[in-house]
Structure 1
Amino acid sequence: MKRREILVALGATTLVAALAGPGLAQERLAMGATFSSSSYYTYQVGIANYLNSTVEGLDLSVQELGGGEVSTQALLRGEIDMGIATTSSDYAAVNGEAPFEGTSDTLRTLYFFAPTPINFVVDAASNVQSLSDLKGVKFNPGGRGTSTERQVDMILAVLGIEPALERAEGSDALDAFQNRRIDGFVKLGLHPDGYIQQAAASRDIRILSMTPEEQQKVSEAYGFLAPATMNPGAFYGSEGEIATVQTAIGINTTADLDEKIAYNIAKAIFSEAGKTAEVEVYAPGESIDTAQLTLDVAVAPLHPGVIRYLEEAGYTVPEKLKP
């Protein structure tokens, strides 16, 4: 009798599974996220909800882990299926640089959504008109101990420029500029930027533009810093196009992610509906061509599913971004 009950139960389970069909099968995936205090965490939660409602069979959860390096380490250990990424952390993983041990040949790019241009800001009343004019100038290279500070140190070194560096926390550097103890600073981000606006409220400012040669020299030395142009507009009392270099923030994965799932994620993200969903949780996304940004800044190869979608949509994928 007990054997019969077990067989009936197994048969019922099989029948339910068969009736459910493949369309209802759920692919449960985990996305590593940055700190919950970050606006990018809000973006990840919002986009995960959008993808779950758009991509059939996807059940994507968000796990708070930390920055791009921590998330990518967890990804390469197989603890998550995709995660927050920066071009600098991808570059380190692909090339086996600290904190990663050994090169990664399985890391793949899904997409990038947030460019982070490097803004070199100086007092407009100074004689500093270019990066090379920063020699000997009291200048803050970014918040003490931040990735911004490390990146600016690398940029200045490769260009052979030696300001009189004043290292300080971000708020202390802003105070020093407002009170004329330094003549310039660096701030990453799109415009308008609240930090730069506070600086401009106390002193007229100038955002320095890199020469094409400087852009090329930096990007050749550090593959995660891509040439970029931006127009800050009239937010700080001046207009005009500025040339610089930028990093970017996005979502990475590995070669283990199913090709169809990666394709459907790319299709959803790069669509008009995807743009609307992005802007709802990340307002600067309105002015960003996510697909083109991905092609411009990606360091790790694109996932084959992403490549298939982009090529079908008419984009040309560089050979260097193909696995």
Structure 2
Amino acid sequence: MKKALSVMMATAMAAAALTGCGGGSSSETQAPASNGGAAETKAAAAASGEKAEDVFWTVMACPASSALYPFWVSIGEGIPSVFPQYKITVSEGQGAVAITKAVRNGDADLGNSVSATDYESYNGIGNFEGQPSKDSRILFYYEVTGEMMCVSKDSGVQKLTDLKGKKFCPGGTGTSAESIFKSICDLFDCAPEYFTASQSDSADAYANREIVGTVKLGPVVDSYVMQLDASIPIDIIDLSEDEIAKIREKYPYLIEVDIPAGTYDGVDHDVHTVGTPQGCQTTTAVSQQDGYNVCKAVFEDAKEKWQAAYPVGAENDLVELTLASSIPLHAGTVQYLTEIGVDVPEELIPEEYVPVQ
């Protein structure tokens, strides 16, 4: 599989689109002197032996039907197990676009993110045309997900252009799967007859043969795709090298993802598609110290907890994935990565980052 290589390539392509400044070393034991707000309060409390002030967060996860949902449940439990001051409520979101809107509006403090939506939101394009969010930040990425365009084996659909005129769900309403698929169809002028529905409703429509297929953006082994396959045997559209090259030229935040033959019953050929890193988004409203604490918990102290809940991604290199971000990282992420000896690219360092001596 080309997961790691593709991520590295995406990093290089996305770098030209980013802006940022600053850099320097940091330390685990000292908060930034001028970070302000909660960070200064907690640093003072720690120095005096006082209990850190409680922080109440809403973390918006992906839909409960997603294979990624257990990761977020474990994160909601794992962070407070290391830093008890965080009182976290994990709520179910309805896809990356809807989650991003909630984080941007302050209805959620942290949320599941997808690199495609992160890029659009930060730059004010696509679903966020004319509404850039330069305060958006990435805390970490933890998984690579592929755009799996699933069709019934007896549909006669083998390539993108075969979808034109067919009744097909582009992905759950408000999801990045939907946004990415529609962008691809616009690029190749191959839009099907769109059937708009949630992920669960599209699965029912597929099982009832109301549609020829649907799209799921998920890990290579995805329970939702397995559910589709169990109802009516599936095939997954295989993109050509030329199609992938054109897609990535137009949308540099997408990466190449390979799905080996036999991953799903009856899909006996390798599937080449595009996809995105999935991660945790927030804004500059979350302090550098809080962001640092989140990363320390996820990368180290609560790692075993989420690995047990999400074994599919247990061996993923979170540092490598995080450095593939297409927008600036959170200041706390930069502090943590710098502390463990990672050379963070200048274009990923936000202007508000304060080096810690």
- TM value normalised by structure 1: 0.72
For 1:263, the equivalent position in structure 2 comes to: 292
Aligned counterpart in structure 1 of residue 222 of structure 2, from 193, 198, 201? 193
Q: Which moved more, 1:24-33 or 1:310-319?
A: 310-319
Query: Paired residues, what number?
Result: 301
1: CA distance, partners of 2:80 / 2:233? 47
Q: Which moved more, 1:260-269 or 1:165-174?
A: 165-174
Q: Is the 8 A contact 1:137 1:183 kept in 2?
A: no
Aligned counterpart in structure 1 of residue 149 of structure 2, from 102, 120, 133? 120
Aligned-partner residue type, residue 148 of structure 2: N
For 1:215, the equivalent position in structure 2 comes to: 244
Q: Is the 8 A contact 2:145 2:217 kept in 1?
A: yes
Is 1:230 aligned to 2:259, yes or no? yes
Is 1:107 aligned to 2:136, yes or no? yes
Aligned counterpart in structure 2 of residue 26 of structure 1, from 30, 37, 52? 52
CA displacement, residues 152-185 of structure 1 (integer Å, 9 cap, x when unaligned):
122111123344x352545665566556665443
CA displacement, residues 205-224 of structure 1 (integer Å, 9 cap, x when unaligned):
33222234323432343455
Is 1:309 aligned to 2:328, yes or no? no
For 2:159, the equivalent position in structure 1 comes to: 130
Aligned-partner residue type, residue 250 of structure 1: G
Aligned-partner residue type, residue 209 of structure 1: D
Residue aligned with 1:270, SS: helix
User: Runs of 5+ in structure 1 lacking a partner?
Assistant: 1-17
List aligned pairs for 1:153-164, cutoff 5 A. Answer: 153-163=182-192
For 2:86, the equivalent position in structure 1 comes to: 59
Cα 1:126/1:28, change in 2 over 3 Å? same
2: CA distance, partners of 1:188 / 1:203? 19
1: CA distance, partners of 2:99 / 2:211? 36
Residue aligned with 1:227, SS: strand
2: CA distance, partners of 1:174 / 1:82? 28
**Identical-pair percentage:** 30
Residue aligned with 1:31, SS: strand
For 2:113, the equivalent position in structure 1 comes to: 85
1: CA distance, partners of 2:196 / 2:45? 63
1: CA distance, partners of 2:275 / 2:116? 10
Aligned-partner residue type, residue 281 of structure 2: N
Cα 1:93/1:314, change in 2 over 3 Å? same
Residue aligned with 1:142, SS: coil
Cα drift, residue 301 of structure 1: 0.6
Cα 1:123/1:266, change in 2 over 3 Å? same
Cα drift, residue 246 of structure 1: 1.9
- TM value normalised by structure 2: 0.66
2: CA distance, partners of 1:20 / 1:153? 50
For 1:14, the equivalent position in structure 2 comes to: none
Is 1:50 aligned to 2:110, yes or no? no
1: CA distance, partners of 2:221 / 2:201? 21
Residue aligned with 1:34, SS: strand
Cα drift, residue 129 of structure 1: 4.1
Cα 1:71/1:205, change in 2 over 3 Å? closer
CA displacement, residues 183-230 of structure 1 (integer Å, 9 cap, x when unaligned):
443233224434433443465433222234323432343455333233
Cα 1:230/1:267, change in 2 over 3 Å? farther
Cα 1:62/1:129, change in 2 over 3 Å? same
2: CA distance, partners of 1:283 / 1:291? 18
Moved over 6 A (4+): none
